[in-house]
Amino acid sequence: MSNPIIIWSKIDEAPALATYSLFPVVKSFAKYANVDVKQSDISVAGRVLATFGLAEDELAKLGELVAKDEANVIKLPNVSASVGQLKECIAELQEKGYKIPDFPENPQTDEEKENRAKYATCLGSAVNPVLRQGNSDRRSAVAVKKFAQKHPHRLRDFAPDCKSYVAMMSDGDFYSNEKSVVTDKEDTFTIELNGKELIKFDVENKELISASFMSTDALGAFLAQTIKDAEAKGLLWSLHLKATMMKVSDPIVFGHAVEIFFEDVFAKYADEFAKLGVNPDLGIGDILLKIEKSDKKAEIEQTIKDTILAGKPNIAMVDSDNLITNLHASNDIIIDASMPPVIRDGGKMWNKDGKTQECIAVIPDRTFATLYDEILEDVKRNGQFDVTTMGHVSNVGLMAKKAEEYGSHPYTFKASEDGKMEVKNSAGEAVMSFDVKEGDVWRAWRAKDLPIRDWVRLAVERATLTNDPIVFWLDENRPHDANLIKYVNEYLKDHKTDGLTIETMAPREAMAYALKRVREGKNTITVTGNAIRDYLTDLFPILELGTSAKMMSIVPLLAGGGLFETGAGGSAPKHVEQFLKEGHLRWDSLGEFLAIAESLRMIANKTGDSKVAEMVKAVDAANEAYLDNNNSPSRKVGEPDNKASHYYYAKYWAEALAKSEDKELADKFAPIAKELAANEDAIIKEMLAAEGNPADAGGYFMFDDEKATKAMRPSETFNKIIDAI
């Protein structure tokens, strides 16, 4: 019988850099439990090359694997590429000698259209729907929660008269236009605009199909009003969208915001922008790239700068020093990464002067905006949370089989003309119909019966294990949720629920319920759809733990295997920026450490292998020691960073194995533990000596393995010990 295999994903940015240091440790230790650990490249660069036949399609292989019982995948956070990021990746690969075409923004020829279709598969959240063939169980490990309470991070107080608030549309948004149906048989549906077929797809029996659209006329009026309100009230204007998961719909919404905020710029240079092929959906950053070919470059740059500096109103900044606003690129303002800091930082964001300022948080669609509105208003009323006593909010999220993939390919469209957008069955009957205008954003999404049934099961399982209440975040006034409530009520009957607290509430009320319990030090299990899952599993970890990277994410796959995700990568670009500048990587690999434990635990539970079980005990002990000794990477250059944290993790792991009840493991790792401990000063000194200067990783989207290894493994003493295991 072959050894169990753990697949370790090779991805992007800071987690990818950290892998160069951590992976040799994990592989060297795990082999003594007869477990093989192998890498699989699902990075943006790897997927681009695979799309054009220049590399193995590792994502497709993993897609096949997660449908099997033996699947055991540790998935680090990957880049959900925007068009801008994809173009940067393409340019880097071309510089490295790969013969791939440019990204065709406005494809005209058949070849350009084909290339655009290929590149579309690399945009946005392309990895997650393939691998997430199970629902999400995301929570904080007990040791991590206790550590955060013992060593609380800072949450900034709100001013007594804080003016910050969430602005959302009152009409014409996705929430107001939603419709939903449940199929009663297998069928083939089509989406049509004025009778012209846009896409055809097969549906299962008891499948939930929903659709809606946003009026761009209503959107434009709403955005213009929020800008006026921000100026009148002296507030910072900030936009919050999800242009990665909602990779078709939200970039269009983003583009409207760009045009309206910089209205004078677009009016003044309309002819020039038309000539250059400027697309507002790609943000100000893309405009600055395109005007490199314009003889009006300096003039346009200055006009954009003047608009920002005029501060009518001030706009939220991604980088104040370089006047990069949150309209620079759609991927810069991912709502799950941008709204939690507003709560954390006293209702403020950064302005052009490098200072924090109270803000209007503009979240156009009410479908999800209300949950942020409720928490912001709660903290304004009741004061900031106490990290040392606040309860824990975990999540069971519906996401299996691409459930609720909002605003993504292939079911999202920008209406090309006025008329009727319809969803029809095979008999040609319209099961849903919408009156749209040219430019409106229409989207459909789906959820299959089996994932919904499993979602309910997983929620009840968590409640039974913890005795915490479970709350289904479902709005009976929303057609999609109203149908989901029927599924939930039906499938709850399949389980023993006596003694359990089970509630169903709309997002605003559910948030209020959870926050009341948080302030009482009580735990709550949130049970949500896919988008809210994404939002809450960043929001609460950032407030409770200081970062979502410390959250544990377990995906029990429907086929019996496991997918273990290691936190969020929203801050990863900043980490890489610092690393390339100073050789210091502040990425915390705790998420990876926790995933290793759960991955091995699944093997031990399935096989009953005592050696793997001993390895699990040792990893658990190492994780506790890592937290107890506060070995997380420092943010400051010249202090221990991610590389040093891997040394401490290896040391604690070896020390735990040296005490193992398995004599073979104990005999093997006792001298290793002794050697690691004896050489601590030399190892840390060698690691710190590599800091303070620019690091060369040989790229950004595709690191050079030799250069990145050298940069991330600077201690010869540590390397010799690990490589000799």
Taking a C-beta distance cutoff of 8 angstroms, is the pair 633, 18 a contact? no
Taking a C-beta distance cutoff of 8 angstroms, is the pair 255, 278 a contact? no
Question: How far, in Å, are 58, 563, 578, 587 from residue 9 at the CA level?
Answer: 10, 11, 23, 17
C-alpha 590/C-alpha 45 separation (Å) is: 25
Taking a C-beta distance cutoff of 8 angstroms, is the pair 327, 307 a contact? no
Pair of tokens at residue 144: 């991590």
What pLDDT score was predicted for residue 310? 93
Taking a C-beta distance cutoff of 8 angstroms, is the pair 698, 704 a contact? yes
Of the pLDDT bands very low, low, confident and very high (cuts 50, 70, 90), residue 332 is confident
Give the list of residues 6+ apart from residue 285 with CB closer than 8 angstroms, or none. 84, 324, 328, 329
Q: What percent of the chain clears pLDDT 90, i.e. is strictly above it? A: 91
What pLDDT score was predicted for residue 371? 98
**Is cis: bond before 451, omega within 30 of 0?**
no
Residue range 478-517, pLDDT digits in tens: 999 999 999 999 999 999 999 999 999 999 999 999 999 9
In 322-369, DSSP assigns E strands to 324-325, 348-350, 356-362
Q: Report the DSSP beta bridge partners of residue 241.
A: 334
Q: If residue 258 lies in a helix (H) or strand (E), which one and from where to where?
A: helix 249-261
C-alpha 448/C-alpha 206 separation (Å) is: 7
Burial of 53 (0-12, 13-18, 19+ CB in 10 A): exposed
Domain ranges within the chain, ordered by starting residue: 5-133+557-723
Per-residue DSSP letters for 481-513?
HHHHHHHHHHHHTTS--TT--EEEE-HHHHHHH
Region 361-381: mean pLDDT is: 98
Residue 263 has pLDDT above 90, yes or no: yes
Pair of tokens at residue 103: 């990204």
What pLDDT score was predicted for residue 684? 97
Q: If residue 231 lies in a helix (H) or strand (E), which one and from where to where?
A: helix 216-233
**Which phi and psi (to 5°) does residue 143 adopt?**
-65, -35
C-alpha 361/C-alpha 372 separation (Å) is: 9
Taking a C-beta distance cutoff of 8 angstroms, is the pair 669, 651 a contact? no
Taking a C-beta distance cutoff of 8 angstroms, is the pair 394, 383 a contact? no
C-alpha 47/C-alpha 41 separation (Å) is: 8
C-alpha 31/C-alpha 723 separation (Å) is: 13
End-to-end CA distance of the chain: 24
Of the pLDDT bands very low, low, confident and very high (cuts 50, 70, 90), residue 228 is very high
Region 254-263: mean pLDDT is: 97
Region 99-118: mean pLDDT is: 93
Residue range 609-661, pLDDT digits in tens: 999 999 999 999 999 999 999 999 999 999 999 999 999 999 999 999 999 99
548 DSSP assignment: G
Of the pLDDT bands very low, low, confident and very high (cuts 50, 70, 90), residue 84 is confident
Q: Which residue, 420, 407, 422, 413, is CA-closest to 440? A: 413
Question: How far, in Å, are 175, 176, 225, 576 from residue 443 at the CA level?
Answer: 12, 13, 25, 35
At position 569, the amino acid (one-letter code) is G
For residue 491, the tally of other CB atoms under 10 A from its CB is 18
Residue range 413-472, pLDDT digits in tens: 999 999 999 999 999 999 999 999 999 999 999 999 999 999 999 999 999 999 999 999
Question: Model pTM?
Answer: 0.90
